[in-house]
Structure 1
Amino acid sequence: MKRLAGKVALISGTARGQGRAAALRFAAEGALVVGGDLRHEEAVETQRLIAREGGTALTPPGPLDVTDEESVRAWVAEAAEAFGGIDIVYANAGAVRFGPITEQPYADFAFTMRAELDSVWLTVRAAWPHLLRSRGCVLTVGSTAGLTGSLTNGRTAHSASKGAVIALTRQLAAEGAPYGVRANCVSPGMIDTEGSRGDLLAEDHPMRSIARHIPLGRLGVPEDVVNAAVFLVSDEAAYVTGAHLVVDGGWSAVLPGADPTGKETRT
C-alpha cells in the first residue's frame, strides 16, 4: 500500500532541489501532486517527470508567486477544483538574501521575510478551509538557522524568518487540533542543492568545507529531507502535531570541531 495513496498534496517550489524531490517522491507514494514555482518551465518539467513514472501531477498555467496573495489563492483554488479538495500542504518554497546586520539593506531583510515567512502564512491561510474539511495536515520548512546563530554566515534575515516559521507551525498545530488538522515542521541543515552550490557551498565561501563538522560526515541531499517529510504527512504520524524534526546529520547537536586542515571553519 502506498503511504500517500489518493491524497491531494499541494507542494510549492517544485522546480528543483527539495521541492522537486518531494513532488517526485509524494507522487511515487500515490499522492495527487499540485506543484508550482516562479521557475515555471522547470516546475512543468517536474510534472513531466512524474507523468513519466506513472504518477499524477498538476502545475498551474503560469508562474506561482508564493509572496503574492492572489497568485497563491488562484493556485489553491485550482488544486481544490481539479481534485475535489486538499489533504496536504507542503510549504516548501522560499528564497533568501544573506548579509550581516551591519551591511544588509532593509530591502533584502524584507525580501527574505516575505519569501520565507509570509509565503508560508499565505499558502496555509488560503488552503486552511480545505484542510478543515479533509482533516488534513501542514508541513513547513524551517532550518537549523532558526535554532542557532552563525559565526561564519551573516544571516539575520534567514535566522529570523526560519525561527518564525518554527513558531508559526506550533501555533498552526494549536489552532488546527480541534478540527483534526496537524501541523509539523522539518528543519534541514546543510543540503546539497543547486541553490546551496551557488552560495554557501561555493568555492569562495567559508562554509564550503562544513561537511567536516557534521557528525555523520557528509552533506545532506534532498531525499534526506523528503524521507522525513513523507513520514510527517502520512497516516503513520497521525498522533504527531506541533513537532519540529531536525534533519542535519547531527550538526546542530554538537559544538563545531577542529578543522583537520588547520583552517578553522566555524558554524
Structure 2
Amino acid sequence: MMRLEGKVVLVPGTARGRGRAAALRFAAEGALVVGGDLLHEEAVETRRLIAREGGTALTPGPLDVTDEEAVRAWAEEAVDAFGGIDVVYADADAPRRGATGGRPHTDFADTTPAGLHPVRLTVRAAWPHLVRSRGCVVTVGSTAGPAGSPAHRRTARSAAKGAVVALTRRLAAEGAPHGVRVNCVRPGSTDTEGSQGGPLAGEHPRSDVRGHVPRGRPGHFDDFLDAAVFLASAEASHLTGADLVVDGGWSTVLPGAPNRKAMHT
C-alpha cells in the first residue's frame, strides 16, 4: 500500500540531486508532488520522470526559494491545482568549505541564511494550509549541525543545519495545537556523484569516512528518504519535534573507532 496516497507534497529543488530523488520517492508513495527549481527545465524533466512512472506532479515555473513572494505564489499554485497542502519537505543547502578563520565573513553571512531561510519561507507559505489539513513538515538537517568535527570545515553550513534542527523544534511546538507535526531527518555523509569529487575523494580530509561508519558505508539517498517518508506518513502520527539521524551510526562513535570489518576480524 502506498503510504502517501493522494497527499499533496511540496518539494523544492527538484532539478537534480536530493530534491529530484525526494520528488521521485514521494511520487512513488502516491503523493501529488509540487516541485520547483530555478533550473526550471531540469525540474520539468523530473516531472516527466514521475509521469513516466505513473505518478502525478506539478512544476508551475522557475522557483527561487530565497524569494518570499515566489515561494508564496508556488504554494498557492499547489492549492489551486490540488485543493490543499498536506506535507512540506523543506530542504535547502549552500555548502562552502572553510574553517572559521579561513574564509571571509561574507561567505558565512551568505551561506548561513541560504541554508536556513528557504526552509522557513517554504514552511511559512504553506502553514495556513497545513493547519487546515492537519499536515506535517519534514525538514532536512545534517550531522554537520549539532556535532562538531575537526575534519568538517564547513562552519557556515554547520551553523545553518544546527539552526534547522532548532527551527524544527520551535515549529513543532507552534504546530502541535493545530495538529501539525514537524520533524527533522538528519543524513550523514551521502554517497553521491558530487561527493565522489568532494568529501569522499581521496585527497579530502573526510575521505576516510567509510572506515568510521559502523554500518560500513556512507549513506545513499534512499536511506534518509525512507526516514522522510516515514515521518510524513500516518505511521509517525505521534511524532513531532523529532530529530532522526540517518548516518549508519557515524555520530555515535568516537573519532578513530575501528570500522565494521575490523571489529569482526
Give TM class, smaller chain: over 0.9
Contact 1:152-1:207 within 8 A present in 2 as well: yes
Q: For 2:194 and 2:137, locate their aligned partners in 1 and report how far apart those are by CA, in whole Å.
A: 24
* Mean CA deviation greater in 196-205 or 6-15: 196-205
Segments of structure 2 that go 5 or more residues without pairing to the other structure are: 260-265
Corresponding residue of 1:264: none
Instruction: String of CA shifts for 1:124-155, please: whole Å, max 9, x gaps.
Output: 11110110111000000011011211111212
Aligned to 1:52: 52
Contact in 1 for aligned 2:36/2:61 (Cα 8 Å): no
Moved over 6 A (4+): none
Partner of 1:232: 231
Separation of aligned partners in 2, 1:92 and 1:8 = 17
Name the Cα RMSD after superposition: 1.4
1:30 Cα shift? 0.6
The answer for the alignment partner of 1:265 in structure 2 is none
Whole-angstrom CA distance in 2 between matches of 1:253 and 1:259: 13
Instruction: Provide closer, same or farther for how the CA distance between residues 16 and 34 of structure 1 changes in structure 2, counting only shifts above 3 A.
Output: same
Q: Which residue is 1:24 aligned to? A: 24
Deviates more, 1:111-120 or 1:220-229: 111-120
Q: Could you report, residue by residue, the CA deviation over 1:78-106 in whole angstroms, capped at 9, with x for unpaired residues?
A: 11111111000000232211211112212
Residue in structure 2 matched with residue 188 of structure 1 by the alignment: 187
In the alignment, the residues of structure 2 paired with residue 232 and residue 40 of structure 1 have an alpha-carbon distance, to the nearest angstrom, of 28
Q: Give TM-score, length-normalised by structure 1.
A: 0.93
Measured in 2, the distance between the counterparts of 1:195 and 1:38 equals 19
Q: What is the alpha-carbon distance in structure 1 between the residues aligned to residue 95 and residue 78 of structure 2?
A: 27
* Secondary structure at the counterpart of residue 185 of structure 1: strand
Displacement after TM superposition at 1:259 (Å): 7.4
**TM-score of the aligned structures, taking structure 2 as reference length:** 0.94
Cα offsets for 1:247-267 (capped at 9, x unmatched): 00000000122678xxxxxxx
C-alpha separation in 2, matches of 1:208 and 1:48 = 35
Partner of residue 207, structure 2: 208
Report the count of equivalent residues: 259
1:263 corresponds to: none
SS at match of 1:35: strand
Per-residue deviation, residues 12-62 of structure 1 (Å, max 9, x unmatched): 121222222211111111100011122222211111110000000011222
